[in-house]
């Protein structure tokens, strides 16, 4: 009996000795830090496998950055991309899982969520440069680990695209929705080699594509004219063979890199001269890389491309 009492007293003393420091450590974040992506397990719907997979948020972010931005870009550009990817994740997670993902917050499809490269795919893409690039991306993700971009205290839609033709687009011009932090800004750093591309179609190819969506088009004589452009220079409206459409519709129909183009037609076909790549809204990744090479930090890059935002710790 006395022994039992002694044991009970010892247990009563031992529990607080063990539990109290655990409680303080946990509440101070020493044992489990929800903001730290290495400590946070997330579910990602793997489109290739057709199932949910579990990984650390850190690995998800490395795979997203690897898929979304060339790994040879500057460190500050990669950090800006990592913050954009983290912001995207947090916004999705806060909205709850998507039914399209079997409840996971994000999937690996670039046409639905953010693109994602598994470690296996990273090895395939980078070959002998895998170790170098993986380290670069891990360092970038680690450096900005807990940061998200916010506007009025809430994570933003941190959208981005490859390269502008000198200015980014207003979200209202592209998606018809006014977003205060997604407004046109200067991105003249996007100028230079490779900005312009020509995309050519024979008259048959051109007619076939046009008729597939607009059966009323008059293809007896190939004609094209740009009617108007938005403030950033992207085509707002054009008329092809009697059919009027938006620049974005033409971009999609003819798989053009961007909606900033000129078009010429002749009897034997049509030629688009296209500037930049992507939808033009938010951060220009090419511009981010040039800014990084000029000595700007990731915060400068983010605040340049997303108007009036804050960079907040999770």
CB closer to Zn ion out of 67 and 77 = 67
Minimum distance from residue 113 beta carbon to Zn ion (Å): 3
Count the site residues for Zn ion by CB under 5 A.
Answer: 3
Minimum distance from residue 106 beta carbon to Zn ion (Å): 6
Residue 243's nearest CA partner among 257, 222, 261 is 222
Minimum distance from residue 242 beta carbon to Zn ion (Å): 38
3-state helix/strand/coil string of the chain: CHHHHHHHHHHHHHHHHHHHHHHHHHHHCCCCCCCCCCCCEEEEEECCCCEEEEEEHHHHHHHHHHHHCCCCCCHHHHHHHHHHHHHHHHHHHHCCCCHHHCCCCEECCCCCCCCCCCHHHHHHHHHHHHHHHHHHHHHHHHHCCCEEEEECCEECCCCEECECCCECECHHHHHCCCCCCCCCCECHHHCCCCCEEEEEEEHHHHHHHHHHHCCCCCCCCCCEEEEEECCCCCEEEEEECCEEEEHHHHHHHCCCCCCCEEEEEECCEEEEEEECECCCECEEHHHHHHHHHCCCCHHHHHHHHCCCCEEEEC
241 is an interface residue for Zn ion by CB under 5 A: no
**Spatial separation of the C-alpha atoms in residues 149 and 172, rounded to whole Å:** 20
Backbone torsions φ then ψ of 90, nearest 5 degrees: -65, -40
Minimum distance from residue 69 beta carbon to Zn ion (Å): 19
Minimum distance from residue 86 beta carbon to Zn ion (Å): 16
CB closer to Zn ion out of 107 and 144 = 107
Residues 103-162 that bind Zn ion (CB under 5 A): 107, 112-113
Minimum distance from residue 104 beta carbon to Zn ion (Å): 8
CB closer to Zn ion out of 31 and 94 = 94
Contact between 11 and 20 under an 8 Å Cβ cutoff? The reply is no
CB closer to Zn ion out of 52 and 112 = 112
Residues 93-112 that bind Zn ion (CB under 5 A): 107, 112
Site string for Zn ion, 161-180 (x = CB under 5 A): --------------------
Minimum distance from residue 91 beta carbon to Zn ion (Å): 13
CB closer to Zn ion out of 121 and 123 = 121
CB closer to Zn ion out of 89 and 133 = 89
Minimum distance from residue 119 beta carbon to Zn ion (Å): 20
CB closer to Zn ion out of 44 and 82 = 44
Site string for Zn ion, 49-88 (x = CB under 5 A): ----------------------------------------
CB closer to Zn ion out of 52 and 125 = 52
The binding site for Zn ion (CB under 5 A) comprises 107, 112-113
């Amino acid at each position: 009996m006395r022994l039992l009492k002694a044991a009970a007293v010892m247990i009563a003393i031992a529990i607080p000795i063990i539990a109290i420091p655990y409680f303080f450590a946990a509440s101070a974040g020493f044992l489990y830090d929800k903001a730290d992506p290495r400590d946070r397990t997330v579910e990602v719907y793997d489109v290739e496998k057709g199932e949910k997979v579990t990984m650390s948020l850190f690995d998800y972010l490395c795979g997203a950055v690897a898929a979304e931005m060339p790994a040879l870009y500057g460190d500050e550009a990669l950090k800006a991309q990592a913050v954009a990817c983290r912001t995207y994740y947090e916004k999705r997670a806060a909205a709850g899982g998507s039914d399209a993902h079997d409840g996971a917050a994000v999937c690996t499809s670039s046409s639905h969520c953010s693109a994602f490269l598994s470690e296996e795919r990273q090895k395939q893409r980078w070959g002998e440069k895998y170790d170098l690039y993986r380290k670069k991306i891990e360092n970038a993700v680690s450096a900005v680990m807990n940061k998200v971009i916010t506007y009025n205290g809430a994570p933003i839609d941190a959208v981005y695209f490859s390269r502008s033709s000198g200015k980014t687009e207003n979200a209202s011009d592209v998606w018809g929705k006014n977003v205060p932090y997604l407004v046109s800004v200067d991105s003249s750093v996007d100028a230079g080699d490779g900005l312009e591309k020509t995309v050519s179609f024979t008259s048959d190819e051109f007619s076939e594509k046009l008729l597939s969506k607009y059966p009323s088009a008059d293809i007896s004589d190939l004609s094209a004219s740009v009617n108007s452009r938005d403030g950033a220079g992207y085509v707002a409206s054009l008329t092809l063979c009697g059919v009027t459409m938006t620049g974005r519709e033409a971009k999609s129909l003819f798989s053009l890199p961007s909606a900033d183009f000129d078009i010429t037609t002749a009897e034997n076909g049509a030629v688009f001269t296209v500037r930049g790549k992507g939808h033009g809204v938010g951060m220009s990744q090419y511009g981010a890389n040039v800014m990084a090479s000029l000595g700007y930090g990731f915060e400068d890059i983010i605040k340049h491309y997303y108007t009036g935002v804050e960079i907040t710790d999770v």
